[in-house]
């Protein structure tokens, strides 16, 4: 469904993403992990069209989306969320989600009805009329998810939807994500929280200093000494501290 | 804006329209009808600002640029080429819309947002003011005088009440547009753009084209306002129709009444007209009304950031429950 080939992004002299390639097959949950500053969010921004690509290509469905504007990519069915949540603050939860739903439905009644449905699906059905500005972090993350989901995407790019959440909130949102996948939406997620990624994804890519340094099923990847080293620093592979 | 919009409350709208229709018969004196015309005129040009500034968050400091373009377009056609001002009316809408397209295309393409966009509109208004001041076809600084030939066919109503009902029709149309924005997909997308452009883009909204559309619409309304103004006062010059005063009035009536609301500009406009007439009767200090109005704006921003309409809604909400 999505194929990223040798994608490179430079900021002046700094190469933020260095010939990264990855593949997201339809119907899967694929995770992209890596230490802070590895370039995960930059890679996401390049894929979704927010940043220009210096080298390489992004294939979505059957076409190249390199150089196409964000809104066109979104209309093709690839929609991202933001790590730092970007709610429409002065609109209510319902209106926020309806903006997404309006991409699918022309009429207000249908869009709001669909937005209501989506809200219930992500557990926001009881706070529809609250303004988005007053939501907790956990609820803002859900709102990001709901809004993008309401556009009826084919591929969701989730940028750290679990960051800053407590374990209960994480397990709740993991269920929501599993539920989304069950409806046939393919998911590529960036995550820091290892525990969540292990339970969710079928395949993992590890990014470090802009390069993909490892890939494979989660159970294999976490045992990979290169990965452990990238996360915990040189020498960490010697002991039994590889349970990060 | 704060809660999910309910189905359109037609009875309220019809009631307000009915009151506006009866007004000149209850207060038939020329002074009061003139007051009504001015209040509705401010409401109309305020709404022109509001649909771009309030609904779509594209705040402009130089909204008069559309107003002036419309005023000069219809007046030049009439005075220089003998074109009937009723034809000038749609032409002024096109002129305002074109200026909207030009400013929007240039500044949105360049990614100018917020205060940068506001300053660009101001710069355009000043530019057109200087041009109007220097070229011959506009009559330069002397301005253009429309010869008085009172007849309805000539857009000069022998009775002021004719102007009153014309501007009432225009205000009704502008409020209908605002209601439509409040309840349509287009309006929802504009609200999203106002709140967060990046997030709007990420959801598939073509931010550039939506902003351009609303600025063209807003510009067209502003242009019509300019045409009406010329016909009512029969005189325009660069400072009157491209000066900062009108821009300020447009955004003041919206912000005081409630930006991004359907009736905000009307509420603000009635208040502005009332203050300005009272100030003129009580003293003859030029511009005192705007001083009072400015002070009021400070109070409103401090205590009612969503405008007077917020106060009205709070009061009416409390009573039934």
- Structural domains in chain B, CATH included, are 10-23+30-318 (1.10.3470)
Could you tell me the pTM of the whole model? 0.90
Helix (H) or strand (E) run with residue B248 in it = helix B244-257
Alpha-carbon distance of A56 to A53, in angstroms, equals: 7
Q: Which whole number is the average pLDDT over B18-34?
A: 93
Quick one: average pLDDT of B271-283?
85
| CB contact B206 to A (< 8 Å) | yes
At A169, which helix (H) or strand (E)?
Answer: helix A167-182
Split at pLDDT 50, 70, 90, the class of A36 is confident
Which is higher by pLDDT, A199 or B272? B272
How high is the ipTM of this complex? Answer: 0.88
Distance in Å, alpha carbon of B190 to nearest chain A alpha carbon: 10
C-alpha B141/C-alpha B136 separation (Å) is 10
**3-state DSSP assignment of residue A82:** coil
Closest CA to B74 of B188, B197, B222, B230: B230
Size of chain A in residues = 244
State the Cα–Cα distance between residues B307 and A38, nearest whole angstrom.
47
Contact with chain A for residue B13, Cβ under 8 A: no
CB B247 within 8 A of CB B296: no
**In this predicted structure, which of A29-38, A41-50, A90-99, B259-268 has the lowest mean pLDDT?**
A29-38
Average of per-residue pLDDT across B102-122: 94
| CA dist B266 → B11, B40, B182, B309 (Å) | 18, 7, 16, 10
Helices first, then strands: H and E counts in chain A: 9, 10
DSSP A99-117: HHHTTT-SSHHHHHHHHHH
pLDDT score at B6: 58
Give the pLDDT score at B58.
96
At residue B91, the 3 state secondary structure works out as helix
Percent of chain A with pLDDT over 70: 95
Q: How many residues does chain B have?
A: 321
Phi/psi for B22 (5° steps) reads -75, -30
Q: What is the structure's pLDDT at B129?
A: 95
Contacts of residue B257, defined as CB under 8 A and 6 or more positions apart, other chains included, come to B46, B263, B264, B265, B266, B267, B268, B269, B271, B307, B308, B309
pLDDT higher than threshold 50 for residue A244: no
Size of interface A-B (CB pairs under 8 A): 87
Tokens of A224: 């990979």
Q: Are the Cβ atoms of B203 and A79 closer than 8 angstroms? A: yes
CA distances from A76 to A2, A124, A136 (A): 12, 27, 31
Share of chain B above pLDDT 70, in %: 96
pLDDT at residue A114, as a whole number = 96
Cβ distance A79 to B206 less than 8 Å, yes or no, reads: no
Cβ pair A91, A132 in contact under 8 A: yes
A124-182: per-residue pLDDT in tens?
999 999 999 999 999 999 999 999 999 999 999 999 888 888 888 888 888 999 999 99
Please, are residues B195 and B185 in contact by the beta-carbon 8 Å criterion?
Answer: no
What the block records as the tokens of A61 is: 């469905």
Measured distance CA(B23)–CA(B25) in Å, rounded: 5
The average pLDDT across B116-125 equals: 95
pLDDT band of residue A236 (cuts 50, 70, 90) is low
CB contact under 8 A, B2 and A71: no
Q: In whole angstroms, what is the distance from residue A217 CA to residue A141 CA?
A: 26
User: Which whole number is the average pLDDT over B259-266?
Assistant: 94
CA dist A153 and A67 (Å) reads 20
CA distances from B122 to B43, B58, B219, B243 (A): 21, 13, 14, 10
Q: How far is A138 from chain B (nearest CA, A)?
A: 18
Question: How many Å lie between the alpha carbon of A122 and the closest alpha carbon of chain B?
Answer: 18
Please choose, from the candidates B203, B173, B170, B175, the residue with its C-alpha nearest in 3D space to the C-alpha of residue B189. Answer: B203
Q: What sign does the CA torsion over A54, A58, A64, A67 have?
A: negative
Convert the pLDDT of each residue in B291-315 to its tens digit: 887 888 888 888 888 888 888 888 8
CB pair distance less than 8 Å for B188 and A98: yes
Give backbone dihedrals phi and psi of B123, rounded to 5 degrees, phi first: -60, -40
Residue A69 has pLDDT above 60, yes or no: yes
A91 interfaces chain B, CB cutoff of 8 Å: yes
Res. A235 pLDDT band, cuts 50 70 90: low
Q: How confident is the model at residue B3 (pLDDT cuts 50, 70, 90)?
A: very low
CA–CA separation, A49 and A43 (whole Å): 10
| C-beta separation of A159 from A80 below 8 A | yes
User: Please, are residues B224 and B96 in contact by the beta-carbon 8 Å criterion?
Assistant: yes
Instruction: State residue B300's pLDDT score.
Output: 86
d(CA B211, CA B189): 10
Residue A215: its pLDDT value, please?
A: 92
pLDDT the model gives residue A198: 82
Give the model confidence (pLDDT) of B156-202 as tens digits: 998 889 999 999 999 999 999 999 999 999 999 999 999 999 999 99
The greatest distance separating any two alpha carbons of chain A, rounded to the nearest whole angstrom, comes to 61
Q: Which residue has the higher pLDDT, A194 or A8?
A: A8
């Amino acid at each position: 469904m999505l194929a990223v080939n040798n994608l490179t992004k430079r900021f002046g002299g700094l190469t933020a993403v260095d010939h990264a390639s990855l593949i997201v097959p339809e119907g899967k949950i694929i995770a992209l992990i890596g230490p802070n500053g590895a370039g995960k969010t930059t890679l996401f921004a390049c894929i979704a069209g927010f940043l220009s690509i210096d080298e390489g290509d992004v294939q979505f469905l059957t076409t190249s989306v390199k150089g196409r504007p964000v809104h066109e990519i979104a209309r093709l069915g690839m929609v991202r969320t933001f790590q730092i949540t970007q709610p429409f603050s002065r609109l209510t939860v319902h209106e926020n989600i309806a903006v997404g739903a309006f991409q699918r439905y022309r009429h207000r009644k249908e869009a709001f009805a669909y937005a209501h449905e989506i809200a219930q699906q992500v557990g926001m059905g009881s706070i529809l009329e609250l303004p988005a500005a007053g939501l907790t972090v956990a609820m803002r993350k859900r709102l990001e998810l709901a809004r993008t989901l309401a556009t009826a995407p084919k591929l969701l790019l989730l940028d750290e939807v679990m960051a800053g959440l407590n374990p209960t909130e994480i397990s709740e949102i993991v269920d929501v994500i599993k539920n989304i996948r069950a409806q046939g939406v393919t998911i590529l997620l960036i995550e820091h929280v290892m525990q969540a990624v292990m339970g969710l994804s079928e395949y993992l890519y590890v990014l470090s200093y802009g390069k993909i340094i490892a890939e494979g099923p989660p159970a294999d990847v976490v045992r990979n000494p290169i990965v452990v080293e990238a996360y915990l620093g040189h020498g960490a592979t010697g002991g039994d501290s590889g349970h990060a | 804006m704060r809660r999910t919009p309910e189905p359109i409350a037609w009875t309220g709208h019809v009631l307000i329209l009915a009151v506006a229709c009866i007004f000149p018969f209850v207060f038939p004196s020329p002074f009061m009808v003139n007051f009504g015309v001015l209040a509705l005129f401010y409401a109309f040009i305020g709404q022109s600002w509001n649909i771009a500034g309030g609904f779509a968050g594209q705040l402009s400091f130089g909204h008069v640029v559309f107003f002036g373009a419309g005023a000069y377009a219809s007046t030049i056609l009439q005075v220089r080429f003998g074109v009937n001002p009723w034809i000038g009316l749609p032409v002024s809408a096109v002129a305002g819309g074109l200026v909207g397209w030009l400013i929007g295309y240039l500044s949105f393409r360049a990614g100018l947002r917020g205060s940068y966009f506001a300053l660009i509109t101001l710069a355009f208004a000043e530019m057109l003011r200087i041009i109007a001041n220097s070229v011959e076809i506009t009559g330069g600084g002397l301005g253009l005088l429309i010869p008085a030939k009172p007849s309805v066919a000539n857009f000069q109503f022998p009775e002021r009440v004719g102007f009153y009902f014309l501007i009432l029709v225009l205000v009704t149309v502008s409020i209908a547009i605002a209601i439509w924005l409040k309840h349509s997909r287009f309006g929802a997308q504009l609200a999203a753009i106002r709140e967060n452009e990046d997030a709007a883009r990420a959801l598939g909204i073509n931010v550039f084209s939506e902003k351009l559309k609303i600025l063209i619409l807003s510009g067209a309304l502003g242009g019509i306002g300019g045409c009406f103004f010329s016909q009512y006062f029969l005189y325009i010059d660069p400072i009157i129709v491209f000066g900062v005063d009108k821009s300020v009035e447009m955004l003041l009536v919206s912000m005081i009444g409630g930006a991004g609301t359907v009736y905000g500009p009307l509420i603000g406009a009635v208040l502005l007209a009332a203050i300005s007439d009272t100030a003129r009767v009580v003293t003859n200090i030029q511009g005192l009304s705007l001083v009072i109005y400015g002070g009021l704006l400070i109070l409103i921003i401090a205590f009612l950031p969503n405008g007077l309409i917020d106060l009205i809604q709070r009061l009416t909400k409390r009573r039934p429950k």
